[in-house]
């Protein structure tokens, strides 16, 4: 709070208020999982439970990018309210179609896929929750962007708090019931169900324009108008999510120890994921404000620089703390067996600071309609990530070095992203 107070005189009251509202819900959704982990690690096993859970999240995150088709972004940046409604409808339709396709695909390939990933037998019974989770993620993402468009930040904050509480309770109860990975995944899925249900209901109930009929011709027209989001941003987003989840896939296949993926997943969950929520809260408000400034002034330079300074001020101390005391923190909180997760956390810090500054601000690619350039950058990221892991595995043959090469590569890329995003923020450069 003190950091934000120091920056308050540089930022508008509305901007700060919006950030604090979203961050309130985000902070709550961080604290709850961290606290729950203190007893979840005593209910679930690192190798048999947390490892397949990390795989489950990776699959769902990758597939949800395809289901959203990045038309969710168009909901926020659409030129008018009618087009925003159309984009919401189109996003939901595509989400349902993709979910159905995923269900059909899993029916035929689930067994060889799970065998390739060396998934535990208990994971076979919960794989059918993947399509449902993807559907719920898509619904949540669509209505979240709708709420942001109309500055309904409180809705999103309350929704995130509800999701965190429900997930915590359900993972605990079902963990004691099933006593395996089914508890973790079932609890997570129910949390998504509650969150998406509450947010969708509040938007549909309070925003009557969403209930207005939309003609098929309008859907086709607006889909063409915002085709850049589908043609370039969707595959770029899929590649980005897949690349970020690549450590989970590769560690599950090549890790020397079955518990390595569990350690990595736990480090990511407690270090990177919570920080992403904090910076994401700032990013959510930045997107709305930057898009508004870009349309009205022709640039978003001022809000870009101020947001960058805020992100740096917030993230620098946590990064130093984890870099210095990662193993001790995990050992103290979760026991000696989780000390290795602290080492993974230290490695993740290599990319953590540049990631959490550059990633929210890279939204300028979308505002400036530079999706094509972003797509080719993500192609490079995917290829370079494979090479980074290959070098780490071939030269050293350890999970630690594979992840180290991955993080160094990503840190360099995020620095490049920051520079390009600033250039777009400085002037109105849109594709025609």
Percent of the chain with pLDDT strictly greater than 90? 0
Structural domain contains residue 159 = yes
Contact 247, 382 (CB under 8 A): no
Tell which wins on pLDDT, 423 or 332: 423
Tell me how far apart the alpha carbons of residues 129 and 151 are, in angstroms, rounded to a whole number.
Answer: 32
Give yes or no for residue 30 having a pLDDT over 60: yes
The answer to the question of residue 210 being in a domain is yes
Residue 404 has pLDDT above 80, yes or no: yes
**Residue 208 shares a structural domain with residue 295:** no
- How many Cβ atoms are within 10 Å of 4's Cβ, its own excluded? 16
Q: What is the pLDDT of residue 336?
A: 76
Q: Under a CB-based contact definition with an 8 Å cutoff, are residues 129 and 186 in contact?
A: yes
Handedness of CA 239, 242, 244, 249 (dihedral sign): negative
pLDDT tens, 160-183? 778 778 887 877 777 777 766 777
Asked if 1 and 58 sit in the same domain, the reply is no
Tell me what pLDDT residue 254 has: 64
Question: What band does 2 get if pLDDT is binned at 50, 70 and 90?
Answer: very low
**pLDDT at position 44, please?**
64
* Residue 47: per-residue pLDDT: 56
Residue 89 lies inside a defined structural domain of this protein: yes
> What's the rounded mean pLDDT across residues 331-348?
78
pLDDT on residue 351: 84
Are 133 and 269 in a shared domain?
A: no
The residue among 225, 241, 271 that closes a domain is 225
pLDDT tens for each residue of 127-163:
778 888 888 888 888 888 888 777 777 777 777 778 7
* Whole-number Cα distances in Å, 138 to 96, 117, 130, 250: 9, 25, 12, 26
- Give the pLDDT of residue 7: 46
Cα separation, 12 vs 245, in Å, equals: 36
pLDDT average, residue stretch 245-255: 70
Judge whether 9 lies within some domain. Answer: yes
Determine the average pLDDT of the residues in 332-347: 77
Distance CA 219, CA 216 (A): 5
Mean pLDDT of the chain: 75
In a domain, 348, yes or no: yes
Residues 195, 296, single domain; the answer is no
Q: Are residues 48 and 92 in the same domain?
A: yes
Query: What is the number of structural domains in the chain?
Result: 2
Mean pLDDT across 369-382: 85
Residue by residue, what is the 3-state secondary structure of 272-313? HHHHHHHHHHHHHHHHHHHHHHHHHHCCCHHHHHHHHHHHHH
The stretch 22-43 carries a mean pLDDT of 63
Query: What token pair was written down for 108?
Result: 């035929």
Query: Can you give the pLDDT at residue 9?
Result: 47
Banded model confidence at residue 31, pLDDT cuts 50, 70, 90: low
pLDDT confidence band for 4 (50 / 70 / 90): very low
Is the pLDDT at 296 greater than 70? The verdict is yes
At 52-111, the pLDDT tens digits run 777 777 778 777 777 766 677 777 777 777 777 888 888 888 888 888 888 888 777 666
For range 391-418, the mean pLDDT: 83
Longest dimension (CA), the chain: 61
Residues 293 and 428 in one domain: yes
Residues 303 and 424 in one domain: yes
268 in the same domain as 415: yes
The answer to whether 86 touches 214, Cβ cutoff 8 Å, is: yes
What's the whole-model pTM score?
A: 0.64
Within-domain flag for 37: no
Q: What integer pLDDT is reported at residue 150 of this predicted model? A: 77
Residue 338 belongs to a domain:
yes
Where does a domain end: 169, 204, 225? 225
Query: pLDDT higher for 32 or 412?
Result: 412
Q: Is the pLDDT of residue 3 over 60?
A: no
Range of the domain at 124: 44-225
Short-list 15, 148, 16, 176, CA closest to 75: 148
Residues 300 and 341 in one domain: yes
Residues 6 or more apart from 54 whose CB is under 8 A from it?
248, 261, 262, 264, 265, 268
Query: In the numeric block, which tokens belong to residue 392?
Result: 């780490």
Tokens of 4: 């934000």
32 located within any domain: no
Q: Say which residues have a Cβ less than 8 Å from residue 205's Cβ, sequence separation at least 6.
A: none
SS3 string, the chain, reads CHHHHHHHHHCCHHHHHHHHHHHHHHHHHHHHHHHHHHHHHHHCCHHHHHHHHHHHHHHHHHHHHHHHCCHHHHHHHCCCHHHHHHHHHHHHHHHHHHHHHHHHHHHHHHHHHHHHCCCCHHHHHCCCHHHHHHHHHHHHHHHHHHHHHCCCHHHHHHHHHHHHHHHHHHHHHHHHHHCCHHHHHHHHHHHHHHHHHHHHHHHHHHCHHHHCCCCHHHHHHHHHHCHHHHHHHHHHHHHHHHHHHHHHHHHHHHCCCCCHHHHHHHHHHHHHHHHHHHHHHHHHHHHHHHHHHHHHHCCCHHHHHHHHHHHHHHHHHHHHHHHHHHHHHHHHHHCHHHHHHHHHHHHHHHHHHHHHHHHHHCCHHHHCCCHHHHHHHHHHHHHHHHHHHHHHHHHCCCHHHHHHHHHHHHHHHHHHHHHHHHHHHHCCCCCC
Specify whether the CB–CB gap between 293 and 303 falls below 8 A.
yes
Residue 42 confidence class, pLDDT cut points 50, 70, 90: low
In the structure encoding, which two tokens stand for residue 22, read together? 């979203």
276 and 417 inside one domain? yes
Domain end call among 207, 225, 243? 225
Give the pLDDT band of residue 211 (cuts 50, 70, 90).
low
Shared-domain flag, residues 289 and 417: yes
Do 418 and 358 meet the contact criterion of CB atoms below 8 Å apart? Answer: yes
Same domain, residue pair 289 and 431: yes
Provide, rounded to the nearest whole percent, the portion of the chain with pLDDT above 70.
Answer: 73
């Amino acid at each position: 709070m003190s950091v934000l107070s120091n920056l308050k005189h540089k930022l508008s009251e509305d901007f700060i208020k919006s950030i604090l509202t979203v961050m309130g819900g985000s902070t709550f959704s961080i604290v709850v999982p961290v606290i729950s982990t203190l007893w979840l690690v005593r209910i679930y096993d690192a190798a048999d439970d947390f490892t397949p859970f990390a795989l489950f999240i990776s699959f769902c995150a990758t597939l949800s990018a395809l289901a959203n088709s990045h038309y969710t972004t168009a909901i926020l940046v659409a030129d008018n309210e009618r087009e925003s409604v159309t984009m919401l409808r189109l996003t939901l339709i595509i989400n349902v179609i993709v979910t159905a396709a995923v269900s059909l695909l899993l029916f035929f390939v689930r067994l060889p896929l799970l065998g390739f990933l060396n998934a535990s037998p208990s994971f076979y019974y919960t794989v059918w929750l993947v399509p449902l989770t993807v559907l719920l993620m898509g619904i949540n993402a669509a209505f979240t962007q709708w709420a942001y468009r109309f500055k309904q930040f409180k809705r999103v904050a309350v929704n995130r708090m509800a999701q965190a509480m429900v997930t915590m309770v359900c993972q605990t109860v079902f963990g004691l019931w099933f006593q395996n990975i089914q508890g973790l995944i079932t609890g997570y899925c129910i949390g998504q169900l509650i969150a998406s249900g509450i947010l969708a209901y509040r938007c549909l109930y309070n925003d009557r324009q969403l209930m207005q009929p939309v003609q098929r011709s309008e859907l086709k027209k607006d889909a063409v108008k915002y085709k850049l989001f589908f043609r370039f941003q969707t595959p770029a987003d899929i590649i980005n999510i897949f690349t970020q989840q690549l450590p989970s896939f590769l560690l599950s296949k090549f890790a020397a120890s079955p518990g390595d993926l569990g350690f990595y997943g736990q480090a990511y969950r407690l270090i990177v994921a919570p920080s992403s929520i904090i910076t994401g809260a700032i990013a959510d408000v930045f997107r709305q404000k930057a898009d508004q400034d870009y349309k009205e002034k022709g640039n978003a330079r001022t809000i870009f620089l101020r947001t960058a300074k805020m992100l740096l001020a917030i993230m620098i101390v946590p990064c130093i703390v984890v870099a210095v005391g990662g193993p001790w923190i995990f050992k103290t909180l979760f026991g000696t067996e989780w000390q290795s997760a602290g080492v993974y956390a230290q490695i993740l810090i290599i990319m953590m600071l540049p990631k959490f500054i550059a990633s929210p601000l890279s939204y300028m690619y979308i505002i400036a309609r530079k999706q094509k350039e972003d797509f080719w950058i993500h192609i490079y990221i995917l290829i370079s990530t494979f090479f980074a892991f290959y070098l780490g595995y071939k030269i050293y043959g350890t999970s630690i070095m594979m992840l180290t090469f991955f993080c160094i590569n990503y840190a360099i890329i995020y620095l490049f992203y920051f520079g390009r995003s600033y250039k777009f923020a400085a002037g109105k450069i849109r594709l025609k």
